[in-house]
Amino acid sequence: MKADELARYRKLLEDQRKELVHDIQEHGKIPTERVDAEDNDRADQANVAVDRLISNRIAASEDHLLEKVDLALSRMDAGTYGKCVLCGKEIPAARLEAKPSVSLCAPCQTSKEQR
């Protein structure tokens, strides 16, 4: 892969990483002002619990994506970015473009999902 292409994907990954970290911080926020309020009724407390549950789910999936982005960045440092981690073939640019954190080529991804 050419250096300018690599730099462009690195920028995409770093932007995505920043966004993810920001989102995780937002979703990780605990609405203390509602929990601490003395006149909190049961319905309100239930809402807080549900909100927190949803936030945790979102945060978990974002954590997972963040991990993928971090792995892609370390593959970049190792000089193996853009190659399928299973078969070693080049991942087509269109695929990387759509999802810069992708680590498998389409055939490997398909066979992995079918397993």
Which parts of this chain interact with Zn ion (CB under 5 A)? Answer: 84, 86-87, 105, 108
Per-residue HEC secondary structure of the chain comes to: CCHHHHHHHHHHHHHHHHHHHHHHHHHCCCCHHHHHCCCCCHHHHHHHHHHHHHHHHHHHHHHHHHHHHHHHHHHHHHCCCCECCCCCCECCHHHHHHCCCCCCCHHHHHHHHHC
Among residues 47 and 111, whose Cβ is nearest to Zn ion?
111
Shortest distance (Å) from residue 110 CB to Zn ion:
10
Cβ neighbours of residue 113 closer than 8 Å, sequence gap 6 or more: none
Shortest distance (Å) from residue 102 CB to Zn ion:
11
Among residues 65 and 108, whose Cβ is nearest to Zn ion?
108
Shortest distance (Å) from residue 111 CB to Zn ion:
9
Among residues 49 and 87, whose Cβ is nearest to Zn ion?
87
Among residues 20 and 72, whose Cβ is nearest to Zn ion?
72
Shortest distance (Å) from residue 104 CB to Zn ion:
6
